């Protein structure tokens, strides 16, 4: 896996770096890294899947932007950490299918029922690249910033990670995403 790396000042800290990994066929993954990472520390890490509607356009239908912002602020506050940004729009189903699912949600289905109706997986994301990115920075102990047990399990099962703990996130619901967040919490609490 190859990469390009640059200093990446952002509104939360001027000490971030941006590293873009790429593989063949053309897949690109991003890691926003706070420069102060030390391998023997427990490093805050957020694995974040792309969300055009939330991350870029600040949609109120999801909590993606709030999760990303909270993670970046937490990392800056702790003076170390990483956000791994994966190209997995709509929990891995792609942007067009995500919008089709949104249409069905507007008709009363929840996000998981909509995916099932479209004959799509509830969650098609793949986190297998994440341990290699962490290993690239010699990170073996992490504090995973997530509410998703799939992410925790994917990294917990990796032989490259020697220690992992949960850092749950809290995002205040709004009238547009409260049902979605409740449905998501209900599903993930059963896993």
The one catalytic residue among 63, 123, 140, 157: 123
Active site residue 183: no
The one catalytic residue among 46, 125, 126, 157: 125
Task: Kindly tell me if the per-residue pLDDT of 24 is higher than 80.
Answer: no
State the Cα–Cα distance between residues 33 and 84, nearest whole angstrom.
Answer: 8
State the Cα–Cα distance between residues 98 and 65, nearest whole angstrom.
Answer: 16
pTM above 0.85, yes or no: yes
Q: Which pLDDT band, with edges at 50, 70 and 90, does 191 fall under?
A: very low
pLDDT, one tens digit per residue, over 37-87 is: 776 789 999 999 999 999 999 999 899 999 999 999 999 999 999 999 999
Q: Calculate the alpha carbon distances from 122 to 89, 104, 155 in Å.
A: 13, 14, 20
pLDDT, one tens digit per residue, over 77-124 is: 999 999 999 999 999 999 999 999 999 999 999 888 999 999 999 889
Active site residue 123: yes
List, in order of start, the domains of the chain with CATH numbers: 38-80+125-189 (3.40.50.10990)
């Amino acid at each position: 896996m190859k990469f390009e790396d640059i200093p990446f000042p952002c509104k939360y800290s001027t000490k971030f770096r941006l590293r873009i990994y790429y593989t063949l066929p053309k897949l690109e993954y991003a890691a926003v890294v706070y420069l102060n990472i030390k391998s023997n520390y427990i490093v805050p890490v957020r694995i974040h899947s792309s969300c055009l509607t939330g991350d870029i356009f600040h949609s109120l239908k999801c909590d993606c932007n709030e999760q990303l912002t909270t993670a970046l602020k937490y990392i800056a506050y702790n003076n170390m950490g990483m956000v791994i940004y994966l190209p997995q729009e709509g929990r891995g189903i792609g942007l067009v299918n995500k919008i089709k699912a949104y249409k069905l949600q507007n008709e009363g289905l929840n996000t998981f029922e909509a995916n099932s109706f479209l004959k799509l997986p509830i969650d098609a994301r793949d986190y297998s690249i994440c341990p290699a990115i962490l290993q690239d920075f010699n990170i073996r102990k992490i504090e995973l910033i997530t509410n998703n047990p799939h992410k925790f399990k994917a990294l917990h099962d990796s032989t490259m990670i020697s220690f992992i703990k949960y850092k749950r996130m809290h995002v205040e619901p709004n009238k547009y995403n409260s049902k979605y967040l409740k449905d998501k919490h209900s599903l993930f609490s059963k896993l």
